[in-house]
Amino acid sequence: MDDEYGALIHGAYVAAMDDGADGWLPWLQRASDWVGGYCGFLGMVDRGRGALAWNAIHHPDPVATARYRDEGIYLLDPQVPVVARLERSRLYRDIDVLDFDDPMTRRHVDWTAEHAGMGHFASMAAVIGDGRWVGGLSIHNAVGRGVTSDAQWRRLAALSDTLERALSFGVLHAEKLREQWWTARLAATGEPAALLDESGAVLRMTADFEAAVARGDGLRVRGGRLVATDWASQRRLSALIERATVPGGAAADATQIERDADRPSYVLCAWPLPQERRSLVPDHAAALVTLLDPEARPAPARGLWCAAFGLTAREGDVAKVLVDGLTPDEAAAMLGVSIATVRVHMRQLFAKTQTTRQSQLIRILTRF
């Protein structure tokens, strides 16, 4: 095993730790040079969406690379439908899989030859995990050099197993990071929440957000998108989501969503997710939305109160009913004790929480 091949094996795992294209660029350049190609492409296809999730490009002419992206030529890449149909990982040459009579394929091949000097290629495609993802590496020859040689083919094949394992590791690593972000974000807010993509489509919802949508008393999901049941609310909702999901979206914003039967309005908050943070977010979401229901009461953090302030079980009971809005008289009736007993517990609560009034006590306890 030569030194460069060993460096490529090690480098693939290092690159996989950085979800997305940027971490792979130095590795891609070395791999392209080692295989003996003119340029190289590395990408990940999300077969669930039938779209290219990300791609890295190594090309000697940065102007050609910029034009390839800016003019949307990458959207015509004929390899995307090829890998979308794969049932298992494989190596292939362009002459074995492409239909050169197809107009879109022809346009892509002609453009890359004329403007980027790219000719024939060979690729390895790796079906990852449960099959949702396919990662692929393509090494292209310069125009006029001809098809991939046997020596190039052998070198590409030598990289294929390592690259498949590294890409699989990267997907698993990224998915765990995203799930941890989602779990931590929800633990921080404790509110019903949903993630939206750049088109405003719902990617995922918490169970309580899903329940609110299922009730249909102000919000629904139609065609994969959040819609309001009230026309005026729908206009505000559409504008809010558009502002939150547009690239470089504005700061957090909110709007009211009218509900049926004269119930208090929902408040929907939208939090744009900057591009640089999306690699940590499930499904590369563009925005997080949270739902405030004025009628919903968060579950009291009774256990935390007792731990933080050394409350007894009975003091915790009294604290809970006070936070729920009951007066001392109502608390006594609810707990089946005398008002004098409740007042004794309240004095203990004031002492342990270093407060002097019921309003101060409730303000502290509701922050948990």
Q: What is the pLDDT of residues 218-228, one digit of tens each?
A: 999 999 999 99
Q: Which residue has the tokens 């020596």?
A: 151
Q: What is the mean pLDDT of residues 56-72?
A: 91
Cβ-based neighbour number of residue 69 at 10 Å: 12
Q: What is the pLDDT of residues 176-217, one digit of tens each?
A: 766 766 776 665 556 788 999 888 899 988 888 999 999 999
Give percent helix, percent strand, percent coil of the chain, each to the nearest 5. Answer: 50, 20, 30
Q: What is the pLDDT of residues 319-332, one digit of tens each?
A: 998 988 889 999 99
pTM for this entry: 0.55
What residue ranges in 263-362 does DSSP mark as E strands? 266-272, 287-292
Sheet of 253-257, strands arranged across: 202-205, 193-196, 287-292, 266-272, 253-257
The answer to whether residue 300 scores a pLDDT higher than 90 is no
What share of the chain in percent tops pLDDT 90?
48
The pair phi, psi for residue 295, each rounded to 5°, is -85, -15
| Alpha-carbon distances, residue 267 vs 54, 145, 359 (angstroms) | 35, 62, 25
Q: What is the pLDDT of residues 118-151, one digit of tens each?
A: 999 999 999 887 788 888 899 999 998 999 999 9
The answer to whether residue 65 scores a pLDDT higher than 80 is yes
The confidence band for 346, taking pLDDT boundaries of 50, 70 and 90, is very high
The superfamily in CATH containing domain 3-176 is Transcription factor LuxR-like, autoinducer-binding domain (3.30.450.80)
d(CA 324, CA 319): 9
Tell me whether the CATH fold assigned to 3-176 matches the one assigned to 190-292: yes
The answer to whether residue 279 scores a pLDDT higher than 60 is no
Q: CATH says 302-365 is which class? A: mainly alpha
Paired with 226 in beta bridges are 221
Q: What is the pLDDT of residues 14-38, one digit of tens each?
A: 888 775 677 889 999 999 999 999 9
The domain segmentation of the chain, as residue ranges, is: 3-176, 190-292, 302-365
Please give the pLDDT value at position 188: 56
Q: What is the pLDDT of residues 236-254, one digit of tens each?
A: 999 999 988 887 666 788 9
Please give the pLDDT value at position 46: 80
The answer to whether residue 1 scores a pLDDT higher than 70 is no
Residue 171 vs residue 45, higher pLDDT: 45
The rounded mean pLDDT for the chain is 86
The answer to whether residue 3 scores a pLDDT higher than 90 is no
Q: How far is CA 281 from the centre of its chain?
A: 3
Q: What is the mean pLDDT of residues 276-283?
A: 60
Domain 190-292 adopts which CATH fold? Beta-Lactamase (3.30.450)
The answer to whether residue 277 scores a pLDDT higher than 70 is no
